[in-house]
């Protein structure tokens, strides 16, 4: 189980871990990036403070794609271990929170605190057959998160049972004056379950884009729940068409600005300055340390927000995002939640992801990016199938309690 961690220590009882991009005082916290190697934070993220105050043992920091850039937990520096799927070691864990999902599957009574920008909680939860809950944007403080894309990042929970997921959320949710995007809302008791008969919408056309085996397994679950849930068809045409491109433009633009602070001077990795000037020096450090995917995102992200291109790409993506949110909100007036498979594929084998083109990988996020762009809470529940498969349910903002109650019907 240590293979899921970049730092590990034994613990007792119900234990917690934190994705490597969540800072823990005095413990190397590097978002699985070489450029931060050696960085030991001088403070705890708010979620870490809360868990420590509650008295739980912390097992350590879980592996991830570098800065969260990826879907398989294979985009990390070679000095880190690449985690393997806990059920099928020749397959990936999913990402970017692959270490968190693997740890949640392998360790009894474990609550893995992870982070999602565009699906990094739901995706690995589905691939490792565990539960992943991504809360509403603003419900959980991100103070102390090594940011990927600030308008999208959310800290959430991965664990093996709904009971542990709700306990984890209970411990980390709530307003924090240190995070200006944190929202003041009443926090209900997430751990109490209520039996409800929800109306769930299946978006038109979404089953047509998933692997036929996943479609069949999903339909079986739907049929088996006919007495407990009312299913109906809903339509999210704009999300189906535009969510991936909108997400990647916004995420990369924000990521490229966030990565600008890593120059080899202030955090982590550095080199002897010698006689190089600053630009030369930081180029050397950045060329050596950033992985291929990070470099790609810096270049594409910088391009989309450059003078002359900004209104064609970044500004337009922001406007489209508003339309996508409105579309979700309209549908959620008519149903309690939206349901579809979490991922269009099963966890792929390592040998099959090596040669995938970036766009092919990005397109696999189609089912998870919409809810993330809209800041809507969503949960991935594992279902019975020959290979790990999840169903993802999305509710309206701050309806985590309802989301957990709906999750109960699938457990």
Q: Which residues are catalytic?
A: 19, 96, 120
Size of the residue set binding ligand GLN (CB under 6 A)? 13
Decide if residue 256 touches ligand GLN (CB under 6 A): no
Shortest gap between Cβ of 350 and ligand GLN (angstroms)? 17
Residue 290 touching ligand GLN (CB under 6 A): no
Choice between 41 and 156, CB closer to ligand GLN: 156
Residue 49 contacts ligand GLN per CB under 6 A: no
> Any contact of residue 399 with ligand GLN (CB under 6 A)?
no
Listed in sequence order, the DSSP H helices in 174-236 are: 212-224
Q: Minimum Å distance from CB 353 to ligand GLN?
A: 12
Among 15, 32, 33, 71, binds ligand GLN (CB under 6 A): 71
Contact characters 362-381, ligand GLN, x per CB under 6 A: ---x----------------
Measured between alpha carbons, how far is residue 319 from residues 304, 308, 309, 384 in Å?
14, 17, 15, 39
| Distance of alpha carbon 127 from alpha carbon 344, whole angstroms | 11
Nearer to ligand GLN, 20 or 365 (CB): 365
Q: Which stretch binds ligand GLN (CB under 6 A): 64-72, 177-185, 281-289, 335-343?
A: 64-72
Instruction: Decide: is 159 part of the binding site for ligand GLN (CB under 6 A).
Output: no
Contact 128, 91 (CB under 8 A): no
Q: CA–CA distance from 378 to each of 82, 90, 295 (Å)?
A: 27, 28, 30
Region label for 32, one of left (φ > 0), alpha (ψ between -120 and 50) or beta (otherwise): left
Q: Shortest distance, CB of residue 66 to ligand GLN, whole angstroms?
A: 10
The least CB distance from residue 9 to ligand GLN, in Å, is: 25
The CA-based angle 56-186-393, given to 5 degrees, is 80
By the rule CB under 6 A, 394 interacts with ligand GLN? no
- Cβ nearer to ligand GLN, comparing 155 with 251: 251
Tokens, residue 51: 């868990």
* Residue 213: CB minimum distance to ligand GLN, A: 22
Distance CA 379, CA 381 (A): 6
Tokens of 287: 């060329």
Question: Considering beta carbons, is residue 17 or 71 the nearer one to ligand GLN?
Answer: 71
Distance from CA of residue 162 to its chain's centroid?
18
CB contact set of 244 (below 8 Å; sequence gap of 6+)? 362, 363, 365, 366, 369
C-beta of 225: minimal distance to ligand GLN in Å?
A: 28
Residue 31 Cβ vs ligand GLN, minimum distance, rounded to whole Å: 10
CA distance 228 to 230: 7
Q: Of 84-123, which residues contact ligand GLN (CB under 6 A)? A: 96, 116-120
For ligand GLN, give the closer residue by CB, 117 or 166: 117
Q: Which is nearer to ligand GLN, 281 or 313 (CB)?
A: 313
Binds ligand GLN (CB under 6 A): choice among 31, 44, 47, 70: 70
CB atoms within 10 A of CB 2: 13
Q: Is residue 355 helix, strand or coil?
A: coil
Give 210's DSSP letter: S
405 counts as binding ligand GLN under rule CB under 6 A: no
Contact between 291 and ligand GLN per CB under 6 A: no
104 versus 285: smaller Cβ distance to ligand GLN: 104
Write the interaction track for ligand GLN spanning residues 215-254; mark x where CB under 6 A is met and - where it is not: ------------------------------------x---
Position among 148, 206, 262, 269 found at the interface with ligand GLN (CB under 6 A): 148
177 — phi, psi (to 5°)? -65, -15
Q: CA 145 to CA 154: how far, in whole Å?
A: 9
User: Is 68 a residue that touches ligand GLN (CB under 6 A)?
Assistant: yes
Which CB sits closer to ligand GLN, 15 or 17?
A: 17
* Residues 268/37, Cβ–Cβ less than 8 Å: yes
Contacts of 306 (CB under 8 A, 6+ apart): none
What's the CA gap between 232 and 215, in Å, rounded?
A: 16
By CB under 6 A, name the binding residues for ligand GLN.
Answer: 68-71, 96, 116-120, 148, 251, 365
């Amino acid at each position: 189980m240590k293979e899921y961690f970049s730092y590990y220590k034994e613990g007792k009882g119900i234990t917690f871990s934190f994705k490597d991009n969540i800072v823990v005082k005095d413990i190397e916290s590097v978002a699985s990036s070489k450029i931060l190697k050696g960085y030991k934070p001088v403070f705890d993220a708010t979620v870490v403070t809360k868990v420590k105050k509650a008295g739980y043992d912390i097992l350590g920091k879980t592996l991830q794609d570098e800065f969260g850039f990826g879907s398989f937990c294979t985009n990390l520096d070679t000095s880190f271990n690449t985690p393997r799927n806990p059920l099928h070691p020749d397959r990936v864990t999913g990402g970017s929170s692959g270490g968190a999902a693997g740890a949640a599957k392998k360790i009894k009574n474990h609550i893995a605190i992870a982070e999602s920008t565009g699906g990094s909680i739901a995706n690995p939860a589905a691939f490792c057959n565990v539960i992943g809950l991504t809360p509403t944007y603003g419900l959980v403080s991100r103070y102390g998160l090594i940011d990927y894309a600030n308008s999208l990042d959310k800290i959430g929970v991965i664990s093996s049972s709904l009971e542990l997921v709700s306990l984890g959320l209970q411990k980390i949710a709530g307003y924090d004056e240190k995070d200006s995007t944190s929202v003041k809302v009443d926090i209900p008791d997430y751990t109490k379950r209520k039996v409800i008969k929800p109306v769930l919408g299946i978006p038109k056309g979404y089953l047509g884009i998933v692997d036929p085996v996943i479609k069949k397994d999903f339909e079986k679950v739907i049929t088996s729940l006919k007495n407990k849930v009312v299913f109906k068809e809903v339509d999210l045409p704009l999300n189906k068409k535009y969510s991936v491109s909108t997400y990647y433009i916004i995420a990369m633009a924000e990521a490229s600005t966030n990565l600008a602070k890593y120059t080899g001077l202030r955090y982590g990795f550095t080199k002897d300055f010698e006689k190089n000037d600053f630009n030369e020096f930081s180029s050397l450090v950045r060329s050596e340390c950033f992985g291929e995917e990070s470099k790609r995102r810096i270049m594409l992200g910088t391009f989309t927000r450059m003078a002359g291109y900004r209104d064609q790409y970044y500004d337009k993506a922001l406007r489209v995002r508003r339309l996508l949110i409105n579309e979700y909100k309209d549908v959620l007036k008519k149903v309690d939640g939206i349901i579809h498979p979490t991922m269009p594929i099963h966890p792929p084998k390592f040998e099959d992801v090596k040669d995938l083109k970036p766009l092919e990988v990005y397109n696999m996020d189609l089912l998870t990016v919409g809810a993330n762009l809209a800041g809507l809470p969503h949960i991935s529940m594992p279902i019975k199938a020959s290979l790990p498969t999840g169903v993802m349910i999305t509710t309206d903002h701050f309806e985590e309690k309802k989301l957990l109650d709906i999750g109960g019907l699938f457990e």
